[in-house]
């Protein structure tokens, strides 16, 4: 028994010594060494290790020659590690501290990407990836991403990231519109017809030229007809048949037309 206790004490001391040694591994490294290790890991795809080195660099040398580049690299490392909130926070700090930096447009773009992927990740956490409906992503993050990309385009119209940002904005706009239609459909099922009509009208007014518009018009026509708001129902049917004559909803609402 005495030998077992002695062995455990020795093992505990050795273990502490080992972890202390690991913790102190970089204690004498200068800024150049830390940055080199961080960048090397980032380029190699070891993002968690890269983030660790960048964090050490930032805390020990907050005003060194690598400060600005290290911060935007740290944001990218967070993004690749799927630490979306941390990536957004790092981008915000970079934008605030270094508004004249040549990479500030990238900071706006990267913040948009982090919000873009954050919304998708929040849904995929609970729903298998192969059955995720893109329109049911986290609409708060989707809206934030849309605003981030919009700000990038407005402030830096010549940025190399504008084209991709525009494509993502179109994608997000369609998803946001589809989500509104999804909610409007839910209200219809629950018998909240005025709420459904208002939600559908919001799509028409704010997300025109999206694929969700014809379905929003169908919902408006049905809801207004049930509510006996005949003029509004007739207007919705007329717009639907005029702009989307081949949409299945055009035939479905024919029976709703007021004779």
The DSSP code for 83 is: -
- Tell whether 196 is covered by a domain: yes
Owner of token pair 């799509």: 203
Q: Is 144 within the bounds of a domain?
A: no
Residue 258: inside a domain? yes
DSSP 181-217: HHHHHHHHHHT-HHHHHHHHHHHHHHSTTSTTHHHHH
- Within-domain flag for 254: yes
Confidence (pLDDT) at 129? 46
The C-alpha atoms of residue 135 and residue 185 are separated, in whole angstroms, by: 14
Nearest of 168, 112, 173 to residue 139 by alpha carbon = 173
- Report if residue 113 sits inside a domain: no
User: 201 in a domain, yes or no?
Assistant: yes
Whole-number Å distance between alpha carbons of 107 and 145: 13
Q: What is the pLDDT of residue 20?
A: 47
In a domain, 139, yes or no: no
Question: Residue 25 falls within a domain, yes or no?
Answer: no
What's the number of domains the chain is made of?
1
pLDDT along the chain (259 residues), means of 10: 51 50 72 94 96 93 92 97 97 96 97 90 45 61 95 97 97 95 96 96 94 95 93 92 84 63
| pTM greater than the 0.75 cutoff | yes
Q: Quick one: which H or E segment has residue 33?
A: helix 31-44
Q: Which domain holds residue 256?
A: 191-259
């Amino acid at each position: 028994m005495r030998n077992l206790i002695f062995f455990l004490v020795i093992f505990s001391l050795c273990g502490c010594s080992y972890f202390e040694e690991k913790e102190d591994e970089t204690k004498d490294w200068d800024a150049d060494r830390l940055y080199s290790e961080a960048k090397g890991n980032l380029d190699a795809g070891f993002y968690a290790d890269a983030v660790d080195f960048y964090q050490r660099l930032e805390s020990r040398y907050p005003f060194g020659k690598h400060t600005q580049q290290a911060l935007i690299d740290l944001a990218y490392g967070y993004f690749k590690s799927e630490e979306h909130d941390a990536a957004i926070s790092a981008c915000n700090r970079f934008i605030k501290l270094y508004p004249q930096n040549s990479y500030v447009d990238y900071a706006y773009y990267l913040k948009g990407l982090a919000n873009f992927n954050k919304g998708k990740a929040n849904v995929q956490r609970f729903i298998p990836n192969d059955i995720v409906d893109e329109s049911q992503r986290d609409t708060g993050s989707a809206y934030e991403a849309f605003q981030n990309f919009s700000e990038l385009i407005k402030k830096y119209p010549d940025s190399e990231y504008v084209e991709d940002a525009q494509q993502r904005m179109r994608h997000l706009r369609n998803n946001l519109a589809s989500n509104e239609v999804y909610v409007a459909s839910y209200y219809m099922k629950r018998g909240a017809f005025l709420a459904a009509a208002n939600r559908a009208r919001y799509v028409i007014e704010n997300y025109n030229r999206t694929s969700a518009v014809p379905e929003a018009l169908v919902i408006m026509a049905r809801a207004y007809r049930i509510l006996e708001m005949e003029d509004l129902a007739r207007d919705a049917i007329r717009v639907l048949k005029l702009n989307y004559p081949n949409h299945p909803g055009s035939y479905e609402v024919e029976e709703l037309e007021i004779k």
